Structure 1
Amino acid sequence: MTWIDVREYPFESRYFDLPAGRMHYIDEGAGRPVLMLHGNPTWSFLYRRLLKRLRDNYRCVAPDHIGFGLSDKPAGWSYRPEDHADHLGAFIDGLGLNDITLIGQDWGGPIGLAYAIAHPERVSRIILMNTWAWPVNRDPHFFAFSAFMGGPIGRLLIRRYNFFARTFMRQEFADKRKLTPALHAHYLRPLASPEDRTGCLVFPKHIVASTPWLGELWTGIPVLSTKPALFVWGMKDVAFRDKELRRWERAFSNAHTVRLAEVGHFVQEEAPDELANAVITFLSKTDPA
């Protein structure tokens, strides 16, 4: 891909075959695996700086969900989060990952936690940024967003104008200067054509439409509640607030939180050094002697 800045993203592309298509992923370094999961409208590019910091000591694996990044974008597939979770399970099993440190942000949180809940023996540690994994259909904050962005007008805006990646993504930065044109291009190009945007436009609707699945997830969270956990939270996020962070803190008894006062939704882009430092400290403290 000639549009990718290889100085920013100097990784070898790999592909995993799924029934829906080929899933692109990065697999760098050796050691205990650290699995990094993105949300909407991003891809593994989001984790490039964390990958560079960790790959000397850990095996860093970062897939692109089907419909995002350099993965296939098949017509006619569902793109529901629960089906992404099934893909992730097949991917983890295919790579034979065990003793996993799971990192999730945005939709990467519930998609990754679905695997962790089903296979708690294979996930050792959890790191979350600005995400959720419970029903929000009765929360006006989320319901209004899902109804508009997942409804006919929102879907049209995404399909025709790439609205989610072009406009809404910028609004989720506290410091919009951090989203430079060159950086933004790496999120726009994978969704360049209307046909490529189905995954991006399906996710907002399923904030509410996948309520039964999210309810099952939250019911299962207690099987993970004593695992070492780290929350790195952008406190100026317009989507996931202090309210959501406090719910995570109540759910995990062995957790540490890093609050980033001047950071928005995309912690990986706005505070890459703070994130990497927090993750490295957490991993070093929880690695076996």
Structure 2
Amino acid sequence: MTSRPTRLAYAVVAALAADAAFHLLWATGSTWPASEVRTLSYALLGAEVSFAPRLLLTLAGIALATLALIHARARVTRDHRLYPLLQAGTLAFLAFLSFRAMAGLVWCLGIGTPPDYPAYYWLNLLLYTPLCLAMAAAVFAVSRHGAKPLRLRGKLALAAPLIAIAALLAGAYAWAPTEAPYDPAEAGVDSRYADTDLARFHYTREGDGSPVVLLSPGASWLFAWQEQAHTLAAEHTVYAVDLPGQGFTELYQDFDYTLEAVAEAIDAFLDSQDLDTVALAGYSWSGGWALAYAQAHPDRVDRLVLLAPSGADRPDPAAWEALKPPVAGELLTNVYSGRDAAEASLLGIVEHDEVVTDALIDAFWKPNTRTVNLRSTYLYERGLDWYSTEAAMPATRQPVLLVWGTADTVVPIADAEVFATRLPDARLEILDGCGHALTIDCPDQVDTLMSGFLA
């Protein structure tokens, strides 16, 4: 008669075999049961991830190896020469299942799941989490087959991974870094506020002439445009605005952190200022936002200035890609929310270290400690999809000024060719010895280029 541990092992083996089969199917290019890769990715994982065949085949191989491991472990006792190796592998798989099950319980509460992809929430609630809980229980029973009775030391050893997992989840979802108070006036910003149904937008306005709107850079706020706003105000009415999740803008409604949601926010701000057609400027993430908005609303944008913009359908740097998986994004954002991390980040995106003063560090760091701004960092990383933006580049009709630094460590200069060759009316300017933070690293050169282009 088949023993209970063996029967449980067969159940785990069947689940892993199904998992491997799906990965092998997707490696062929199929996206069944979804219509395309992005929908499948968000339904399965709550984020956009690679479905490259090499990765899928690797995951299928891991599932098959784990399958063999669990099957073998159920057939041996502690007297077998392979017992230590098989037991260690079984316990490692148990730790993974426990982590996924505990994280799934958190996500069942709606915490950390993408609001615009309800399929992931329901699959996690009805399938993934119950399956992981059941598999964890089965693998635990297999791990006890033929093992010594658990004494206090063994119980503590088993409890340690669960405690560590609970600590990781607490760090991601229960701990909130302390907000550092900051008044925009400390940075010399003359703040204004515009109330709309969506949000209370924080913005500045200066000068008189044709309207230019500067969208605050990703993971920053309108302070980054201060030098350019002053320069352009000699000939233009210049608006710099914090979009949702940035600076001191306050949301009144739930926000999806997608390109479509950002476009609605830009619309709301322009309507609040009675602006029909503007020159629009963006920087890093907001460069991609400006481009996407101009593509969707060509009658409202007559010119574009894009500084080291997002918008090409390429993977982000590894440090940003790491924010996409649930739990990891929340935890990393919380852990790296301190002033030292902000200073290191600034030093990493400029070539002229002398511009990174204590005042500059505080101006960039303190506003980002606001809870809504911390959350937006990983939510934007998960929600922004540049596939449609790059695909629409050939049909983008506005004149575009592109500016890139040769030392950009965030958006590689190789991306500049994508924009320059696919946008029909683009002028590309490469600034030697400048990093990603162009407006503070090389402000004079940026001022001259923008003034000439927008004149």
Shorter-chain TM-score range:
0.7 to 0.9
Equivalence for 1:229: 400
Q: Deviations over 1:100-140 (max 9, x none)?
A: 1111111112222222112212211111111121322xx4x
The answer to whether the 8 A contact 1:160-1:194 is kept is no
What is the aligned partner in structure 1 of residue 95 from structure 2? none
- Partner AA of 2:388 in structure 1: E
Aligned counterparts, 1:144-159, within 5 A: 144-151=318-325, 152-159=327-334
Task: Provide the rounded CA distance (Å) in 1 between the counterparts of 2:196 and 2:252.
Answer: 13
Superposed displacement of residue 155, structure 1:
2.7
State how 1:87-106 maps to structure 2 within 5 Å: 87-106=265-284
Cα gap change, 1:135 to 1:162, in 2 (>3 Å): same
Q: 8 Å contact 2:210–2:236 — kept in the other structure?
A: yes
Return the offset for 1:80.
Answer: 3.3
Contact 2:394 2:424 in 1 (8 A): no
Q: Which amino acid aligns with 2:279?
A: T
What are the ranges of 5 or more consecutive residues in structure 2 without an aligned counterpart? 1-180
What is the total number of aligned residue pairs between the two structures? 272
1:216 lines up with 2:391 in the alignment = no
Q: Mind listing any 5+ residue stretches in structure 1 that lack a counterpart?
A: 285-289
Structure-2 residue corresponding to 1:287 = none
Contact 1:37 1:63 (C-alpha < 8 Å) held by counterparts: yes
The counterpart of 1:259, out of the listed 430, 436, 439, is: 430
Larger RCO, structure (CA 8 Å, separation 6 or more): 1
Retained in 2: the 8 A contact 1:126–1:230? yes
Cα distance change, pair 204–165 in 1 and its aligned pair in 2 (3 A): farther
| Corresponding residue of 1:127 | 305
If each structure's helix is expressed as a fraction of its own residues, which one has the higher value? Answer: 2
Question: How do 1:14-33 and structure 2 match up within 5 A?
Answer: 14-19=193-198, 21-33=199-211
| TM-superposed deviation, 1:199 | 1.1
Structure whose residues are more often strand by fraction = 1
CA distance in 2, matches of 1:232, 1:196: 26
Normalised to the residue count of structure 1, the TM-score between the two structures is 0.84
> Could you tell me which residue of structure 1 aligns to residue 361 of structure 2?
184
Q: CA deviation at 1:32?
A: 1.0
Alignment CA distance shift 1:281-1:161 (3 Å)? same
* Native 8 Å contact 2:393 2:419 kept in 1: no
Whose Rg is larger? 2
Cα pair distance change 1:191/1:275, threshold 3 Å? same
Task: Give 2:382's aligned amino acid.
Answer: K
For residue 10 of structure 1, report the CA deviation from its aligned partner: 4.3
- Does the 8 Å contact 1:34/1:59 carry over to 2? yes
2:412 to 223, 228, 241: 241
- Name the amino acid aligned to 1:171: G
Q: Distance in 1 between matches of 2:373 and 2:428?
A: 36
Q: Secondary structure at the match of 1:177?
A: helix
Paired residues of 1:33 and 1:59 also in contact (CA < 8 A): yes
**Residue type of the alignment partner of 2:321:** A
Helix, strand or coil at the partner of 1:18: coil
Q: Which amino acid aligns with 1:219?
A: A
Question: For residue 225 of structure 2, what is the aligned residue in structure 1?
Answer: 47
- In structure 2, the CA distance between the partners of 1:122 and 1:74, relative to structure 1 (3 Å rule), is closer
C-alpha displacement at 1:249, in angstroms?
A: 0.8
Which residue in 2 is equivalent to 1:64? 242
Aligned to 1:171: 348
Partner of 2:453: 282
Letter in 1 for 2:241: P
Counterpart selection for 2:375 from 182, 191, 198: 198
For residue 202 of structure 2, what is the amino acid of its counterpart?
H
Which amino acid is 2:244 matched to? I
Indicate the SS of the match to 1:279: helix
Which contiguous aligned blocks of 4+ residues in structure 1 show a shift greater than 6 angstroms? none
Aligned-residue RMSD, C-alpha: 2.5
Give the share of equivalent positions with the same residue, in percent.
23
